[in-house]
Structure 1
Amino acid sequence: MTALHRRALFAATLAVPALRGAAAQGTWPTRPVQMVNPWPAGGSSDTMTRLFAQRFTEVFGQQFVVENRAGASGTIGHNHVAQQRPDGYTLLFATNSTYAIAPHLLPQLPYDNRAAFTGISLVARTAQSLCVHPSLPVANIAEFLAYVRTHPGQVNFSSAGIGATSHLATELLMAAANLDMVHVPYRGGAPSAQAVLAGETKVSFIDAVTALPHRAAGTLKMLAVSTSARTPLAPDVPTLQEAGVAGFESSTDMALMAPAGLPAALTDRLAEAVRAAVNDPAFRQRIVAQGADPVGGTPAEFAVYWTRESEKWGTLIRARNIRAPT
């Protein structure tokens, strides 16, 4: 074999892994894909994960299988994904309560919150509504703020747990409006909402889609929504910003992520699939029917948002001296 032949063979050998990688990326997926939801089955995040799993199954021609790995504010599921290969066969359907809030409350995470994941795209945003028990003698936000200010430390509020978005939304409101209320944490959004319905607590931020039937029945007063724009589910309900709480914005944000190192071409392909889904009128309506606003976006846009969202909640947690239970 001549030196020329040896060089050609060596070059061909080096090229094989690259060609295989390119082929694998081009034909992905060739087997089922695991979509990890780090929350229990039955919640809004789980429902949204299953909507997108069904959509991706149809689009990509392989099964996208949802696996619930709940616990520790979503960090158990995140830790599982962080340890998987970045080959596109394990995806994470995450919420901001884990990727933007939990790291400030749980400093001993078994993974690096930013370095362990590839951020792909925001998917949907769920508005929360500030709800009060009917016994509270208020009919709007102005009356609510006035009542709480004249009864400092006497009004209690429930949440889905310390560090949940329903908890931090209330902390954000108290900081912005100079309020003093007493926190009563529950284990999840459903028992927290039930506490207000039963009168055990007087106030809570509840997902708008959950609160609407109780509003119609007269068992809850829905005073305002937490997002910067009104929710189409209840267009007559003002935002907190409109009601005079300047700059207030809070929501449960859902995002698609993957293990760190996911190839850029595959990351972009998945982000494009999210954008196509949220721009499809029929699928978009399915998201809205779940009480969420479709979002979509690019990986670069998600990176900017992720930094901003994490800094926002980290600043609040430090300022309010919020601590996770030990």
Structure 2
Amino acid sequence: MITRRSLGGLLALGSLSLGSLAPLAAPAWAQAEGFPERNVTLVVPWPPGGSTDAVARILAARLQQDTGRGFVVDNRAGANGTIGFASVARARPDGYTVLIGTGSTYAMAPHLYQLPYDNDRAFTGVGLIASQPLILCIPGTAPQRTLAEFVAAAKAPGARMAYANAGTGSSTHLATELFLQAAGVEMTDVGYRGGAPAVQGTVTNEVQLIIQAAAGVLPLIQSGELRALAISSAERSPVAPTIPTFREQGFDVVVAEHIAALVPAGTPAPVVARLNALFQAALQAPETRERLAPLAAVAETQRPEEWAAYNAAENARWRDVIRSRNIRVQ
């Protein structure tokens, strides 16, 4: 018969203690098998109503349908998305807090701001989930019909052209600077408080050029208030197949407004893989694709193991653009 004393002696022989008989935490693979067991929060670092918020809500609705668990969108806006990023960096690394962010914060902001988190170490990438092409537009009343004609006009002696900047350090701002660099053109930067007034300033010819996410300009292109000269995708986009790419017109400008899912560093790899599988299944559903189409958003497929190389390349690319164009946040 084993008494408590003899049991204690046996445990001591094995360098154990009675306290070690407490239940052990489930291994990571076991945590992932039943994930999610409760509601998941999707943190969007932008205000409600924007395209990233809309993508997150479409995704959340499908994930809830697929899993039977709640996926709740939490908007934490401010400081070019860094407030929302900081909140996720501090969250418990268990997969129940997921960041739905854009390249303007994970690849551009680190080279413009002092961040309250370590951008290289604070997050693990679940993967890209969607992207939107950017479109270069000029006023519908402008005489130029092609990108080559516009560049020639901008280079003409005495030309005084300006471009709309919807936010210093945003993806649309840096894409514009990338185009100007590729074209060898200098234009005046005119700042606006957001995309809507920047687009309106182009419609009224206050400025002569804007590069904006497709969803924000396609209706005005269709009405003739704006004229599209180029789209930033590598190939012609299904959302606007008649608009030629920059590349086919001789300008090496390939940019997308990428939307990605990230979790706090330290989240177990099986949980990250489970999130990626759930997201990909939701994004491939025909109903999801139909709901993304009016946003000019295309579902992306990226595995977690592909994130690190992609993220490093994006950071290096935009760091170089920011430095070469001497861009600073005022």
Q: Could you say whether these structures have the same fold, taking a TM-score greater than 0.5 normalized by the shorter chain as the test?
A: yes
Matches within 5 A, 1:274-313: 274-313=279-318
> Which residue, out of 51, 69, 80, partners 1:44?
51
Equivalent of residue 265 in structure 2, options 260, 269, 274: 260
Give, in whole Å, the separation in 1 of the partners of 2:301 and 2:282.
8
Q: Deviations over 1:153-194 (max 9, x none)?
A: 611111221001111011000111101111112222122112
The partner residue of 2:103 within 96, 99, 105 is 96
* Other-structure match for 2:229: 223
Alignment check: 8 A CA contact 1:152 1:181 kept: no
Given that 1:152 and 1:179 are in contact with CA atoms closer than 8 Å, whether structure 2 keeps it comes out as no
Equivalent residue number for residue 203 of structure 2: 197
Local SS of the residue matching 1:36: strand
CA distance in 2, matches of 1:249, 1:114: 24
In 1, distance between residues paired with 2:139 and 2:158? 18
Tell me which amino acid in the other structure corresponds to 1:131.
Answer: C
Q: Give the number of equivalent residue pairs.
A: 323
Counting only pairs closer than 5 Å after superposition, residues 229-248 of structure 1 correspond to structure 2 as: 229-245=235-251, 247-248=252-253
In the alignment, structure 1 residue 74 sits paired with structure 2 residue 81: yes
Contact 1:193–1:204 under 8 Å retained in 2: yes
CA distance in 2, matches of 1:260, 1:139: 49
Question: Structure 2 length normalisation: TM-score?
Answer: 0.92
Give secondary structure in 1 for the equivalent of 2:24.
helix
Provide, for residues 22-47 of structure 1, a one-character-per-residue CA deviation record: whole Å limited to 9, x for no partner: 65443332222111100111010110
**Counterpart residue number, 1:169:** 175
Shift of 1:148: 0.9
Amino acid at match of 2:42: M
- Name the % identity: 41
Relative to structure 1, the CA distance from residue 231 to residue 105 in structure 2 (aligned partners, 3 Å threshold; closer, same or farther) is: same
* CA offset digits 1:87-107 (Å, max 9, x no partner): 11211000000000000011x
**Paired residue for 2:256?**
251
Residues 1:59 and 2:66 are matched in the alignment: yes
Q: Secondary structure at the match of 1:93?
A: strand
Whether contact under 8 Å (2:28, 2:268) holds in the other structure is no
* Match 2:162 to one of 156, 169, 172: 156
For residues 21 and 95 of structure 2, what CA distance do their matches in structure 1 show?
Answer: 24
Moved more, 73-82 or 20-29: 20-29
Match of 1:114 in 2: 120
Distance, in Å, in 2 between the alignment partners of 1:118 and 1:175 is: 32
Residues 1:270 and 1:11: Cα distance change in structure 2 (over 3 Å): farther
Q: Contact 2:41 / 2:96 at 8 angstroms: preserved in 1?
A: yes
Alignment RMSD = 2.0
Q: TM-score, normalised by structure 1?
A: 0.93
1:188 alignment partner AA: G
Pairs within 5 Å for 1:8-19: 10=17, 13=20, 16-19=23-26
- Which consecutive unaligned segments of at least 5 residues does structure 1 have? none
Residue 147 of structure 1 is aligned with which of 127, 150, 153? Answer: 153
Cα gap change, 1:277/1:127 in structure 2, threshold over 3 Å: closer, same or farther? same
